[in-house]
Amino acid sequence: MELLDLYDYQRRPTGKTMVRGDEHPEGMYPPVVHIVIFRPDGRMLIQQRQPFKKGWPNYWDISVGGSAQTGEDSPTAAMRETREELGLTVDLTGRRPTLTNCSGGAFDDIYILELPVELSELSLQPEEVQSAAFATQEEIFAMIDDGRFIPYLKSFIMLLFDLHRRGGMVDRSKKK
């Protein structure tokens, strides 16, 4: 049984927890982390979920995702999830997420990393991940269209690629 801390709408700890998979109480939100790994050539590392996973079985997804467990801060949860799902050690100590999405039932912290990783370096978690690959933005769009990728908004996928290419949300080439 995995316990998750709950936060109020301003992301203040409530001191309450919930069991992962249960519906969270009204006005309380668990933290979730997503790690998006790009290679220096601009392709995103994607993973295919196991067929027995509860949500989106067999679908392709962004590099890593999971819930922060009780007592974990966001960077610690992101490092643990990356190590568990892909066998990669990353250091996010003191790092804030690239982007936080609060439109769903959780605080989704998204970390964008660039690593010169090869598929042969990965150690996939058999309980979660059946395969991994690298894909361009256009390839992911095609996978969304044909129902093989979790149906994220294409504008979200485009934003991830843009944030990686530009190194942030401000286009520094337009400096005044």
Q: Does residue 163 carry a pLDDT above 90?
A: yes
pLDDT in tens, 92-121: 999 999 999 887 788 999 999 999 999 999
> What stretches of 30-131 show up as alpha helix (H) in DSSP?
74-86
CB atoms within 10 A of CB 16: 13
CA–CA gap between residue 72 and residue 113 (Å, rounded): 20
Other Cβ atoms less than 10 A from the Cβ of 58: the count is 13
Residues facing 17 on adjacent strands: 5
CA distances (Å), 59 to each of 93, 106, 146, 150, in order?
30, 21, 11, 6
Enclosing H/E stretch for 66: strand 64-67
Is 109 in contact with 29 (CB distance < 8 Å)?
no
- DSSP-assigned beta bridge partners for residue 131: 48
CA–CA gap between residue 137 and residue 98 (Å, rounded): 19
pTM higher than 0.85, yes or no? Answer: yes
Give dist(CA 109, CA 92) in Å, integer.
12
Rounded to whole angstroms, the Cα distance separating 107 from 23 reads: 15
With cut-offs at 50, 70 and 90, classify the pLDDT of residue 36.
Answer: very high
